[in-house]
Amino acid sequence: MAPNMMRWLAERLRPATLGERGERRAARHLRRQRYKVVATRRRLRYGEIDIVAVDGRTIVFVEVKTRRSETGPRPALAVDDHRRRRMTRAAAAFLKSHGLLEYPARFDIVEVIWPDEARRPTIVHHQNAFPAEGRGQFYR
């Protein structure tokens, strides 16, 4: 078998990480809330966006934070200033590349708490969790 095929197969057979499982559950949660998920795990020059969804006419950029335990600080607190600036730049690039700059946009955070022994996670959705940050970025 060719080396490229072997790498592809190994990637497909690899067990999902906790973060990947959390992102899939977050997308499922958003779909159940009538959001249209249009992209997942989108890597752009300026950073990564976990989920891009549409809520009505608003484009929603979602950061997913998955943890095994509720002990310690809330997962949403891990989205610090640096991460918010990177998400803002990535979101602006996404909107520009798809010709969507005229549409309203917002940033949400979805917390997924998934203990090892649990079949289903606890999901907390923070709508409009933070404003666009940085210089020269888009604002609502």
How high does pLDDT run on average in the chain?
88
Greatest CA separation for the chain: 52
Helix-then-strand count for the chain, H and E: 3, 5
Task: Give the rounded percent of residues in the chain with a pLDDT score beyond 70.
Answer: 94
Residue with tokens 């891009």: 52
Q: What percent helix, strand, coil does the chain show, rounded to 5? A: 35, 35, 35
SS3 27: helix
Domain limits, the chain: 17-130
Rg of the chain (C-alpha set): 16
- pTM of the predicted structure, to 2 decimals: 0.84
Q: Which CATH class is domain 17-130?
A: alpha beta
pLDDT tens-digit map of 115-126: 888 889 999 999
Give pLDDT, residue 80.
Answer: 92
pLDDT at 138 over 60: no
Q: How far apart are alpha carbons 43 and 11 in whole angstroms?
A: 17
Under the banding of pLDDT at 50, 70 and 90, the label for residue 57 is very high
Q: Which two tokens stand for residue 109?
A: 């955070």
